[in-house]
C-alpha cells in the first residue's frame, strides 16, 4: 500500500505504531462512520499521527474527502499541524482541492493563521497557485496570515501571477519591493496600480538594485519604456547598485539594442558614470566580447560610440581585440570551416552547372530542319538569343570553376580560406546573375513575337532576382545602416 500526498510525502511508509491501520484506511477512504466509532471507543484516537505529523484529517484533506471532514466536524483536531508545519488547509490548497479549501475556511477560519516551517501561509500558496476564489475568501478573515517563504508575501505572489486587482501598498517586511518584482516580470499594470495607491512606493532593494535594473536584466523592454515615461521613476536611470552599476551598465551587458537606445534617448542618462571598478557603461562590451560576431553587439557598440565620442579609442581597441579573438578561434577550427564551406558551395555550383549545361542543348526555338541550315538554331540571328548563349556559357564556366576550386581547397590555412571564400562568393554571384539572364533572354526570345508585354514582364523578374536576393539576405545589416545613419561603420560589421 503506497500513498503519496500532494506535497510529496509518502504517508503509508511513514506510519508509526501510534496510528492504527484501520484509522489510516478510514481516513484515506473518507469513512466518517468508522472514524466516529473509533473516536467513541477511545478518546484521543484522532490525534494519532504518522512520522511526519499528519493526523487522520490531514490525510483526508490530501485525498479531497470533503464528506469525511464535513460530517465529522472541524475542531481542535483539524487545527493540528504536521511535521512540516502544514495544516489541513495547506494540504487542500496545495493539492488543488478548491471546494474543500473553501469549506475549511468557512467552518474553521483559524486555519488561515497557520504558517508552515517554510514560512508559507495558506493565502500565499493560494495566490501562487492563482486560486482567486480562495484568496478572496481568506481576505475576508481579519487575522489571516499573508506570509510567504524567503521573505516574500501574498503581494509578491499576486505580482508574479499578474493579479493587479489584489495589489495593496503594505510591503514593509518584504525582501524585494513589489515594483522590483513587477519589473522583472514586466507587469506594467501592476506597477501602475502600486503607484496609484502608493506614489512613493519603494523601488529598490537593500543592495540598490532598482526595478529598472530588474526590467533590464529580464529583457522587459516595454517595462523599461514605462519607467522612462513615468515622472516619479525617471530618476532611476542615474541610480547605482551595490557594485556601482547604473541601468545603462546592465543594458549594455545584456546587449539589447532596443533597451540601450531607449536609455540613451532619455536625457537623464549619463554615459560617463563609473562603477566601483572605475569602468563606464561602454566597458561592459568587453565582458561580453564573445558576442562580437552578432549584430546586437555591434549595434550596441555603435550606439555607445555615438553617445560618447570621447570613448572612440577604447571602442576601436575593443573592436580590434574582439576581431583578434574571433580570428584565433577560427584558426583552431579552420579545417572544419573549410570542409563545411567547400561542401555547401560545391553543391550549389554543380547544380547551376548542370542546369546551364542542359539549357545549352535545349535551345529556345529549337533547331532548323530547312535544307542548307539543318541542325542550326532557328533563333540564331536574334539579339536576345545571342545574349542567352553568352550568359548561359558564362554561368556554366563560372560554376565549373567554383566546383573545381572546391576540390583543390584542402589547405588548413585561414588566409587561404578567406581568399577562397572571397573568390568563390564573387564567382557564384556572377554565375547566379548569368543564369537568371539566360533564363530571361531565353523566354524573351520565344515569346516576343506574339506576346511582347508578357515577354518583357517575364524578362524583368529573373533580372531583378539577384538584386532582391541581395536585399533580403543583407536586410538586417541594411536596416542597421539606415537606423544608425552617419554613425554606421562598416568595418565594425566585418566579423558578422
> What digits encode the pLDDT tens for the residues 311-341?
778 877 887 877 777 777 766 666 677 777 7
How does DSSP classify residue 367?
Answer: B
From CA 67, how far away is CA 49, in angstroms rounded?
Answer: 21
Whole-angstrom distance, CA of residue 312 vs CA of residue 322: 15
Min mean pLDDT across 175-179, 218-222, 423-427, 468-472 is at 175-179
For residue 63, give the 3-state DSSP assignment.
Answer: coil
Q: Who has greater pLDDT, 420 or 173?
A: 420
Query: Helices 414-447 and 334-360, interaxial angle, to 10°?
Result: 20
User: DSSP labels for 183-242?
Assistant: HHHT-HHHHHHHHHH-TT---B-TT--BHHHHHHHTT-HHHHHHHHH-GGGGGGGG---T
* DSSP state string for 299-350: HHHHHHHHH-GGGHHHHHHHHHHHHHHHHHHHHHTHHHHHHHHHHHHHHHHH
Nearest partner of 182 among 233, 140, 132, judged by Cα? 233
Query: How large is the C-alpha radius of gyration of the chain?
Result: 37
- Rounded to 5 degrees, φ, ψ at 203 are -125, 10
Neighbours of 58 (CB within 10 A): 27
pLDDT band at 493 (very low <50, low <70, confident <90, very high): low
Digit-coded pLDDT (tens) for 112-124: 778 887 778 888 8
pLDDT at 413: 66
Residue pair 312/306 in contact by the 8 Å Cβ criterion: no
pLDDT the model gives residue 476: 76
User: In sequence order, which residues have a C-beta less than 8 Å from that of residue 124 and are 6 or more positions away?
Assistant: 146, 147, 148, 149, 152, 153, 154, 157
pLDDT band for position 213 (50/70/90)?
very high
Q: Say which range, 24-38, 87-101, 280-294, has the weakest mean pLDDT.
A: 24-38
Span 234-260, mean pLDDT? 90
Position 386 confidence tier, pLDDT thresholds 50, 70, 90? confident
pLDDT per residue as tens digits for the range 197-209: 778 788 888 888 9
Whether residue 491 is predicted with pLDDT greater than 90 in this model: the reply is: no
pLDDT tens track for 431-462: 988 888 888 888 888 777 778 788 888 888 87
Alpha helices in 95-142 (DSSP H): 98-107, 122-128, 132-139
- Domain boundaries of the chain, sorted by first residue: 1-115, 333-493
pLDDT at 168: 43
Task: State what percent of residues in the chain have pLDDT above 70.
Answer: 70
Residue 206: all three cell numbers together? 537593500
Q: What grid cell was written down for 156?
A: 509578491
pLDDT tops 50 at residue 174: no
Cβ distance 92 to 100 under 8 Å?
yes
* Residue 30 predicted with pLDDT over 60: no
CATH 1.20.1260.10 fits domain 1-115: no
Amino acid at each position: 500500500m503506497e500513498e503519496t500526498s500532494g506535497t510529496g510525502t509518502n504517508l503509508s511508509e511513514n506510519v508509526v505504531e501510534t496510528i492504527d491501520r484501520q484509522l489510516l484506511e478510514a481516513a484515506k477512504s473518507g469513512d466518517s462512520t468508522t472514524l466516529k466509532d473509533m473516536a467513541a471507543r477511545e478518546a484521543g484516537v484522532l490525534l494519532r499521527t504518522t512520522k511526519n505529523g499528519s493526523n487522520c484529517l490531514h490525510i483526508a484533506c490530501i485525498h479531497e474527502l470533503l464528506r469525511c471532514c464535513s460530517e465529522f466536524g472541524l475542531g481542535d483536531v483539524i487545527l493540528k499541524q504536521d511535521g512540516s508545519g502544514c495544516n489541513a488547509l495547506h494540504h487542500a490548497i496545495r493539492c488543488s482541492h478548491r471546494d474543500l479549501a473553501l469549506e475549511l475556511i468557512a467552518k474553521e477560519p483559524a486555519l488561515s493563521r497557520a504558517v508552515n516551517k517554510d514560512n508559507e501561509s495558506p493565502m500565499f500558496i493560494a495566490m501562487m497557485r492563482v486560486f482567486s476564489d480562495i484568496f478572496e475568501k481568506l481576505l475576508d478573515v481579519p487575522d489571516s496570515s499573508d506570509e510567504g517563504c524567503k521573505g516574500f508575501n501574498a503581494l509578491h505572489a499576486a505580482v508574479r501571477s499578474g493579479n493587479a486587482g489584489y495589489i495593496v501598498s503594505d510591503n514593509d517586511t518584504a525582501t524585494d519591493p513589489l515594483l522590483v518584482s513587477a519589473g522583472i516580470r514586466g507587469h506594467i499594470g501592476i506597477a501602475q496600480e502600486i503607484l496609484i495607491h502608493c506614489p512613493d512606493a519603494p523601488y529598490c532593494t537593500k543592495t540598490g538594485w532598482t526595478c529598472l535594473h530588474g526590467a533590464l536584466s529580464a529583457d522587459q523592454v516595454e517595462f523599461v519604456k514605462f519607467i522612462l515615461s513615468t515622472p516619479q521613476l525617471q530618476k532611476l536611470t542615474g541610480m547605482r547598485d551595490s557594485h556601482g552599476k547604473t541601468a545603462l551598465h546592465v543594458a549594455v551587458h545584456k546587449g539589447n539594442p532596443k533597451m540601450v537606445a531607449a536609455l540613451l534617448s532619455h536625457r537623464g542618462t549619463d554615459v560617463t558614470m563609473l562603477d566601483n571598478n572605475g569602468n563606464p557603461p561602454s566597458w561592459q562590451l568587453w565582458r561580453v566580447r564573445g558576442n562580437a560576431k552578432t549584430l546586437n553587439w555591434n549595434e550596441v557598440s555603435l550606439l555607445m560610440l555615438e553617445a560618447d565620442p570621447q570613448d572612440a579609442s577604447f571602442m576601436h581597441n575593443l573592436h580590434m581585440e574582439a576581431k583578434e579573438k574571433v580570428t584565433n578561434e577560427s584558426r583552431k577550427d579552420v579545417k572544419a570551416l573549410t570542409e563545411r564551406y567547400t561542401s555547401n558551395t560545391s553543391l550549389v555550383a554543380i547544380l547551376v552547372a548542370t542546369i546551364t549545361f542542359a539549357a545549352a542543348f535545349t535551345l529556345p526555338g529549337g533547331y532548323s530542319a530547312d535544307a542548307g541550315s539543318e541542325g542550326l538554331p532557328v533563333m540564331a540571328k536574334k539579339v536576345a538569343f545571342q545574349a542567352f548563349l553568352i550568359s548561359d556559357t558564362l554561368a556554366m564556366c563560372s560554376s565549373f570553376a567554383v566546383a573545381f576550386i572546391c576540390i583543390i581547397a584542402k589547405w588548413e590555412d585561414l588566409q587561404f580560406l578567406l581568399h577562397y571564400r572571397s573568390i568563390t562568393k564573387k564567382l557564384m554571384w556572377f554565375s547566379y546573375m548569368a543564369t537568371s539572364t539566360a533564363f530571361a533572354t531565353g523566354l524573351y526570345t520565344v515569346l516576343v513575337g506574339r506576346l511582347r508585354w508578357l515577354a518583357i514582364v517575364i524578362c524583368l523578374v529573373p533580372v531583378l532576382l539577384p538584386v532582391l536576393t541581395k536585399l533580403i539576405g543583407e536586410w538586417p545589416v541594411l536596416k542597421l545602416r539606415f537606423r544608425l545613419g552617419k554613425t554606421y561603420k562598416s568595418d565594425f560589421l566585418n566579423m558578422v
